[in-house]
Amino acid sequence: MGDERVLDEAMKVMGVFEVVPRLVVFDLDYTLWPFYCECRSKREMPSLYPQAKGILHALKAKGVDVAIASRSPTPDIANMFLDKLGIKTMFVAQEIFSSWTHKTDHFQNINRKTGVPYNAMLFFDDENRNIEAVSKMGVTSILVNRGVNLDALKQGLTKFSKHLTSIEKNKEKWQKFAQKPGSSGKDKQ
Ligand SMILES: [Mg+2]
């Protein structure tokens, strides 16, 4: 499937959902591209997973921002590759640094720089420990198997809208509770 076909399909997928994330965050190695960039040379011409570019463009076309959270120890190579692939300027935040935490510090930086709350973000990564740590922050997180593709996008958007619906329901429950006379919320607006 060419980039244009993927873009069309991704637009269709997103059209199904009433709510979409404000920001989608991608890991690099084995999520956007099929290699560890620390094992490659800056002189090489890298390539993305086949559906990655179409998905990035579809998100942008729908007004959804995109960002990077990578623990790559070679940000210089990663940056060079993003540039060579012609996608470097697409990202509103690029957090590429090695860290002992499982990307929680990457997401704190992204949150600070973009102002997007964690529950309005969707995250794709191929490592379970990152997925676990970041979902605890309130970010809808999807483990990818062979890089990001249309199936992963569909899965991500489904999980995101379910997550948001449950947050809304809890909010409603709380508001009802707070409105009850004699409840602890009686002095609140
Ligand atoms: Mg990875």
Q: Let me know if residue 125 belongs to a domain.
A: yes
70 Cα–ligand 1 center, Å:
7
pLDDT tens digits, one per residue of 77-101:
999 999 999 999 999 999 999 998 8
Q: Distance between CA 143 and CA 156 in Å, rounded?
A: 9
Quote the mean pLDDT of the chain: 93
Tokens of 26: 């991608």
Q: Let me know if residue 140 belongs to a domain.
A: yes
- State the pLDDT confidence band at 183, using cuts at 50, 70 and 90: low
| Catalytic site includes residue 29 | yes
Catalytic residue among 29, 65, 125, 126: 29
| Catalytic site includes residue 27 | yes
Q: Let me know if residue 185 belongs to a domain.
A: no
3-state secondary structure of 179: helix
Q: What is the CATH number of the domain that holds 89?
A: 3.40.50.1000
- 91 - beta bridge partners? 66
pLDDT tens digits, one per residue of 44-59:
999 999 999 999 999 9
Q: What is the pLDDT of residue 184?
A: 52
- The burial class, CB within 10 Å (0-12 / 13-18 / 19+), for 105 is middle
187 Cα–ligand 1 center, Å:
49
b/e for 54-93, b at 16 or more Cβ within 10 A? bbbbbbeeeebbbbbbbbbebbebbbbbbeebebeebbeb
Catalytic residue among 3, 8, 27, 125: 27
Whether the predicted pLDDT of 174 surpasses 90: no
Tokens of 188: 């609140």
Could you tell me if 29 and 122 are in contact, meaning their C-beta atoms sit under 8 angstroms apart? no
Q: Let me know if residue 187 belongs to a domain.
A: no
Report the predicted TM-score, pTM, of the whole model to 2 decimal places: 0.91
Q: Let me know if residue 184 belongs to a domain.
A: no
- The domain total for the chain is 1
